[in-house]
Copies of this chain bind each other. A is one copy, B any other.
């Protein structure tokens, strides 16, 4: 049995009330961990004497928050698209970038062309940087394979990244990212439903569909989600990003775990998501990187939608790894309060992944914690661009 005791925590975010935005803050607190699980949290001067044995960390007044849960990434990919990024900042149009070989299909080609070991190595480097900056759980989507073999390979690599780095991984099958080159939407959806889903399902927790202009229609997505449900996969979807398509309403209709992006979501969408208990995953790194208006996170929150924050880490539109930076952006560019943003980056992410044991500090929860080198979580927007993680604890182990 391994144990760890965190003492003299200046400010502890517990999220224990399980109410969005209520951080359940404790001052002068302590947390006791046994075998990777939290067994006790409370005032430092009330620690039960039986918990005093074993290793301890003197937190010395610093703030502690639950490990960040990054609930939307495309972490496994080959190649890089920095040239395309520079060209776009210089005014190049989407069509010019496609004509010069850029865009998602260049990542599909680079991912297919890379060896499995290479992809594991470079994806693990990204995951390791995430872990060191406080992300203890990451959702990873496939979607750069676009055929049975490569989609399954991506999901297997995502699993290996978790084993290699120690970061918690949840996996999402995103075969329906875009139709593969040379296939119509209908042909490709047939392939997703008939070939990919049955083989990919054992390797995934969720099924995602990119519903948008240039990707898939609401009708195609509905068909895919029905098939996914038959294979035991819960829906999550890319919704209302480039245009308004009705994807948020579909998320509510099919009882999706999450609707993500939501740049063009309407107040009616918010009502539907709130009523159906669909978590809205908003991705401020994409708006920041692409210079597009941020999603209406404030409107969604005020309408009662449960919010999660995530990086959208991908090589095209949001090569962002740091949840600390995402929190700062959500506060500074989306108008969330520090309490709301930290909640959404921890408990909100866990809710979107349907994990009751993450993003919360209470007996029985996984012992994922970040000790900030700061007296309060409010330093995250106050000191943007700096890494404030002093120590990161994943399943009770100090990883940094």
Which residues of A line the B interface, CB within 8 A? Answer: 80-83, 85-86, 89-90, 129, 285, 288-289, 291, 319-322, 324-326, 331-332, 337-338, 374-376, 378-379, 381-387
CB atoms of A385 and B85 under 8 A apart: no
Contact B285 A89 (CB under 8 A): no
Query: Which of B322, B338, B378, B384 contacts A386 (CB under 8 A)?
Result: B322
Whether B386 lies near A86 (C-beta < 8 A) is no
Chain B: CB-nearest residue to A376: B82
Check B89–A381 contact: CB distance below 8 A: yes
The 6 residue pairs across chains A and B that have the minimum distance between CB atoms: A325-B385, A322-B385, A319-B383, A82-B382, A85-B382, A82-B378
Residues from chain B with Cβ under 8 Å of A289 in the complex? 332, 382, 384
Contact A325 B384 (CB under 8 A): yes
Bound complex: CA A332 to CA B384 (Å)? 15
A335 and chain B: residue at smallest CB distance = B89
Given A289-B382, A324-B385, A385-B385, 14 further pairs, Cβ under 8 A: A80-B382, A82-B375, A85-B378, A85-B381, A89-B331, A89-B338, A285-B384, A291-B332, A319-B383, A319-B384, A320-B383, A320-B384, A321-B386, A325-B385
Contacts of A82 in B (CB 8 A): 374-376, 378-379, 382
Q: How far is the CA of A284 from the CA of B382 in the complex (A)?
A: 14
Q: Are A86 and B338 in contact (CB under 8 A)?
A: yes
Asked whether, in the complex, the Cβ of A383 is within 8 Å of the Cβ of B321, the reply is yes
Q: Say which residue of B319, B320, B378 sits within 8 Å of A86 (CB atoms).
A: B378
How many copies of this chain? 2
User: Please, how many angstroms separate the alpha-carbon atoms of A80 and B374 in the complex?
Assistant: 10
Q: Are A386 and B129 in contact (CB under 8 A)?
A: yes
CA distance A326 to B384 in the complex (A): 10
Residues of B with C-beta under 8 A to A285: 384-385
Are B320 and A385 in contact (CB-based, < 8 A)? yes
Q: Which residue of B lies closest to A291 (CB)?
A: B332
In the assembled complex, the CB of A300 is this many whole angstroms from the nearest CB of chain B, namely 19
A83: chain B residues at CB < 8 Å are 378
C-alpha spacing A374/B183, complex, angstroms: 35
Give the chain B neighbours of A384 by CB distance below 8 A.
285, 288-289, 319-320, 325
A382–B85 alpha-carbon span in the complex (Å): 7
Instruction: Judge whether B378 and A90 touch: CB under 8 Å.
Output: no
* Cβ–Cβ < 8 Å partners of A326 in chain B: 385
Residue of B whose beta carbon sits closest to that of A84: B382
Query: Which residues from B are CB-within-8-Å of A331?
Result: 89
Output the residue of A322, A324, A386 with the most chain B CB within 10 A.
A386
Q: List 23 A-B contacts (CB under 8 A).
A: A81-B382, A82-B378, A82-B382, A83-B378, A85-B378, A86-B337, A86-B381, A89-B338, A129-B386, A288-B332, A288-B384, A289-B384, A319-B382, A319-B384, A320-B385, A320-B386, A321-B385, A321-B386, A322-B385, A322-B386, A325-B384, A325-B386, A385-B385
Shortest Cβ gap from A234 to chain B (Å): 30
Nearest residue, chain B, Cβ from A129 = B386
In the assembled complex, the Cα of A364 lies from the Cα of B89 at a distance in Å of 36
